[in-house]
Amino acid sequence: MSVVYDRVALIGLGLIASSMFWAIRKAGLAGEVTGYARSEQTRETARRIGLCDRVCDSAAEAVDGADLVVLCVPVGAMDSVAREIAPVLKPGSTVSDVGSVKRAVIEAVGPHIPEGVHFIPAHPLAGTEHSGPESGFAELFRNRWLLIVPEGGADEAALARLRALWEGMGSHVDVMEPDHHDLVLAVTSHTPHLIAYTMVGVADDLRRVTDSEVIKYSAAGFRDFTRIAASDPTMWRDVFLTNKDATLEILGRFTEELFALQRAIRTGDGDLLHDYFTRTRGIRRGIIEAGQDTDAPDFGRAKVGE
């Protein structure tokens, strides 16, 4: 694999940024990778583990001279970071991001991007429940989808270059319109997370009554909920506050489906339940056939780093 960018700057050094660095370094996709995190402790950790070729003490220092800047901060922090780095962005460079919501990122970052700098939002559909600079690994993006979500007419050469970077890190790449992205992700990621948080919250209330039996005897379904509900609380708070309309729409549909199942259980409508579960089972098989999971007993989740 050849070098795609001479210098890449990663702003925010959590799971995604750290995985990007290790993947970029493993594939030789950049000449130099600089990094910045707001927390001094995070910067010290990054230096200790060799995360980034150079860890800087300000975002402006990190992006100075960079050909690609990737904003890897929570959606709620995008505006202030974009405002800070705007004056030092290199003409002809590209600014991208990894946010789970795209319309809000475009509205927060877009106004600060100077003339002559390309802004190409993106979203890697990859992650674990872990966070922080030590949680990253080079294989995180392998065989996972990266959505490029440009607003309006993105520069084709800049877009092709960004695509090449993500494909070099092992991702499949597709292009999607921002509002459609936010609706799709409300279905596939945001609402499932909210449901998991809710189910674990209900179990926590019950646990206080049952003397910890919920944890002691947790079955695979509940354990899967707790894995999802262990995700970064700051990131997910910002996701729901910035993708409000799409999430509420999907939650409304979920509630309607839940009421229908409640009624089927109450009235003993076994045919409806069996047909419903057969249809949903087909979705699972489709995911496996698409290569996005396996039918392994551990729900297809490999250990981190494998």
Residue by residue, pLDDT tens for the chain (306 residues) are: 689 999 999 999 999 999 999 999 999 999 999 999 999 999 999 999 999 999 999 999 999 999 999 999 999 999 999 999 999 999 999 999 999 999 999 999 999 999 999 999 999 999 887 889 999 999 999 999 999 999 888 899 999 999 999 999 999 999 999 999 999 999 989 999 999 999 888 888 877 766 667 777 777 778 888 888 888 888 889 999 999 999 999 999 999 999 999 999 999 999 999 999 999 988 888 888 888 877 765 544 454 444
Beta bridge partners of 63: none
- Looking at the structure, give the CATH architecture of the domain made up of residues 180-268: Orthogonal Bundle (1.10)
3-state helix, strand, coil in the chain (%, to 5): 55, 10, 35
Alpha helices in the chain (DSSP H): 15-27, 40-49, 59-63, 78-85, 103-109, 156-168, 178-185, 191-210, 213-216, 220-229, 233-242, 244-267, 270-289
Task: Please give the order of strands across the beta sheet that includes 172-175.
Answer: 122-124, 145-148, 172-175
Domain residue limits, the chain? 5-176, 180-268
Residue with tokens 């944890």: 215
Which of helix, strand or coil describes residue 45? helix
Q: Which residues contact 265 (CB under 8 A, 6 or more apart)?
A: 273
Instruction: Give CATH for domain 5-176.
Output: 3.40.50.720
Structure tokens at 214: 């919920």
Structure tokens at 221: 């379904």
